[in-house]
Every structure is written in C-alpha cells, then in structure tokens.
Structure 1
Amino acid sequence: MATHGCLRKCAWPKALFMYLSRAKPSPPNSPPSLSGPIQRVWLNTPVTFNCTSAGFYPPEIHVTWWQNEQELHGAKSDVCSNDGSRTYQVQSTITVPAKIDSPVTCRINHSELNQPIHSTFNISDIVNEPSPPSVSGPDGQVLSNTNVTIYCKSAGFYPKEISVIWEQNGIMLQGSNLNIILNDTDKTYQALSNVTVTATINSTVTCRINHTAFDEPKQSIFELKNIVKGKVCSYLML
C-alpha cells in the first residue's frame, strides 16, 4: 500500500505504474497435481480425474489429456486467479472408463515453459484385473483314447461378458459348458467352463479367454499326454 501511495503521490506516468504493478511472467508449478479415485473401482466403469496447477502468469494456458498416446476429449478446464497474488491456477477434470494398462496423463503447456509438463495416473492400481485362466483335469491317470473332462476357471472380472474358447491341437472344440457366477462380495464375476475330449498321446487342450479388460486373449494349456496311464499329471501355464 505504501508503494502504491508513493506512485500516486509522485504522479508517475500511467504506463510506468502499470508496468511496476503487474505480475511478472512465471511458469506453472511442475509437475501438475493429478488425482483420481482413492478406492478401487470396477473395470470399465466411469472414473473422474482432476488435474491442477498454479503459480503461472499470464493466465493463458493449454491443458490436454492423454491415454495410451492418444489425446482425450471432453475435459472441462477452469482458470482463476490465486487469492493474494497476481498469478493464476487451473483445474481440469475428465471422465474415462477404468481399464487395465491404460494410464491417464494430464499435460500442461504455457508460454513460460520450455516444454510441456505432465503427471500420470496409473489406472491399473485401482482396478482388479481378471485372473488368467487356470486349467485342471482328472486327479488320477487314465487310459489312452478314453474320454476325460478338462476344467477352466477365471475370476475377478467385470462386466459379465466373457468369451471362453477351447482348442485341441489347434482345432476349436464344440460342446463346451460355461457357467458365469456373480461374487456378491466385490460384485465381480468368475467363469467356470469345461469340455470333454479324448485323451491321446501328444495331444494338448487349450482354454483361451477374452475380456474387454484384456489387451489380448489369455490362455492356459493342459498336456493330455501327462495323464495317460503311466505318466505324471501336470499342466502348463502360459
């Protein structure tokens, strides 16, 4: 206040007064603060992220959101002045589906920055990924060319829709059964599937599952030759 009074008393030129009064150009804080849900969320459900940065001048600033190197749209951004200072702060929010291995990045650019600054939120940390399929067969050994039932299980996925495909020696099998069960505790699902095949030497059975939370299908292989009479029962996980 004393300084402003001196300026008025001395009747300095208006342009000089404005020059001394205005804020100096300054970059935003680095990195921006990025926050999301603090509790676990269901896969593919909408989640909102907030990005804030402060201490910059002039107020013009560019905020973009990215996921898997692709720019996201639909964000809402607000710029306001900081109380008690001549700098500004920005807050931006965006809502995206929760997916595995799909981090969200808030990127900020400003005239006083040499290059954009950013922060990233790893969505995988707050969602439950479906378990890889596990396969099992008879506890004991069987005679060659007899029918055996192979079981496949995957749990912890959401939403309910899931694809289970069976193959024997690379050929798709028909006649499999699939039962999808809701877990009342966490509202996720588990899939139980089985198929009956003929146990032959040097034959393998593959259970392959696909779900929207996976980037690509996951599978497990059961070695039928290992349960033929005289062999040790085992299975191979991929």
Structure 2
Amino acid sequence: MDEATHDLDPSPSVLPGLQRGGWEMILHFFAGSTHEIFQVQQAEMTQTASVGETITLSCSVPDSFPKGPVLWFKGNEPNRELIYNFKEGFFPRVKEIGHTTKPGNTDFSIRISEISLADAGTYYCVKFKEGKPNMEFQSGPGTEVFVTTPPSLPVVLGPLERALTGQTVNFSCMSYGFFPKDITLQWFKNGKEISSLQTHIVQMKNSNAYKISSTTEMVLTLQDFSSYVTRGIFEHPTPKNKISVTCKAKKFYPQDIQLTWLKNGNVSQVDKTLTPTRSHDGLYTVQSSILVDRANQEDTVLTCRVEQDGWQEATAKMTFLVSYLDKSEK
C-alpha cells in the first residue's frame, strides 16, 4: 500500500522531469500572451486605395504603457513625416476615430481623406514616453498604403498632313496620370488588333504618376477614308430658256468641301454651305447646280471646281456652243 502511494506521489523528488516540463509550457504560454498584449498593434499590414478615397489606419496602444503621447508617422527615421498628433497641430485631412481623451482609451486609429498618389508609403503608429524631451517608447509594425489611379482617356492622333490611298501613315496614342506603372496598350482597327511600332512608359515630371505613348502605322485604303474626289457634269433642260447643269463630287473625306462655278474663267457662283451625304463606306457625296441662259448669244465655257482644305481637287468643264443651242431650239 505504501509502495502504491509512493508511485502516485507528484512530488519533485519523484517526478521532477514532468513537473519542470509542465511549468516550462505554462510559462511559455503566458510569455507569448504578454508579448501580444503589451505592444502597439496595427491590424493591417497593407491597404490599397484609389485617388480621392478615404482610408482608415488602425492602431491599438495598451493603457498600461507609460504616460506620453501617441503620434502617427509616414516613413522611418531620420526622414519620417508627421501625419497626426493627437494633442496638437493642424491636420485638415486626418481625423481621429477613438475617444483619445477618455481614461483607459486604447484606440488611436485615424482616418485620412482625399487620398492622392503622394500618400503612398508606410505609416507607423508610435508611442512616446513622457519626458524632457519625450522619448520614443514603442512603434507599431507599420501599414503600407498603395494608391492607384486609372489612366486618362486615350488621345489618338493621325497624320498631321493630308494622306492619299496607298500611303503609309503613322498614328499615335497617349494616356497619362495612372499608377501603378503596370499597364497595357493595344491597337485595334475595325475591331481587330494590330501591332504597334513602339510603346513607352515614363514617369511624369514632378509626379508619381506615369504616362504611356505608342505608335502604329498602316497603309491607307479606300476603307480608311482616303481623301480623293471624283466628279461628273450632267445637263438637265429646264423651261423658260434655261439649262440646269449639275456638278457632282463623290467619294471624298472629310466632308468639308467648297464647289465653285466659273463661266468663261470668271467666278459665277460659290457654294460654301453644301450638305454632303454620307454613304455606307463612310465617304461623302455632294452636288451643286447652276442655270445657264439659252438666250446667250456667245459660246460659254462652264467650269466646276472642287476645293478641299484649300486644295484644288478636281475640275470639270462643259462648253455651250451658240450654234448647238440654236439648233436644239428648232
């Protein structure tokens, strides 16, 4: 009986290894808890925001820490930037969330509004110990903030000068003000992707944002709105000794066009306000008419001249002979 009792006795002399191991495990458990509780905590390791948004940076400081202020910084020593002081200072975009004046408060979280690209970086919540001067007591692990902003609407520029069918022309595209740098630009023609000649991404001057520029080239065809004009003149007899003559220009682009009538080399009529019609292929057609007096006793050379962007594109002539007019009246 004594032997059995002796076997179950949990005294140090009987079970020293078990007793020592148990205490080690218990001490280790409390040591870990103490380490977690008595430190400045920042819940988020990273945050991502778009330009113009508001972010919240959390911070919890144990109330058992020595008396002293809590400050928020961006970056590390020696060039860290003060973001917020709970006791003094003017920080228009930053507001505190917790009741920091309430005894026992542990919440020193802040909210930053109107985020810009310049706000990207790592933010630290730092506890100071009161003194002359105050000494840094402990810093949180930091929260890294990433700021994104979309690119501007792309601007596409074509040839600066007029181009004809079969000519190789360059097109350029540019977009700017985006972050981060990773971006893809693709070219499409009629919904089908085409390759680019070159694409560059560079950082904008005095800014964290980037801009992208790209060029491509193509050989123009009629479907690409090449600028050329064809013409025709048609005669339509009308009553009262008049002849209506029509000049028709077709398959041109852009639509701005001027048509001038000349009689015997002298300007007779200028049509500046014509309204071209657009066909299914995207090119334009326009026509203008002029009346010719049958009673004219002299031969007349009638000229139709088409101009586009200050360029004389085409002319067509018709000669009215008095002998022909007289014969046609009989």
TM-score category (smaller protein): 0.3 to 0.5
Using structure 1 for the length normalisation, give the TM-score.
0.39
Larger relative CO (CA 8 A, sep 6+): 1 or 2? 1
Between structure 1 and structure 2, the one with the greater Rg is 2
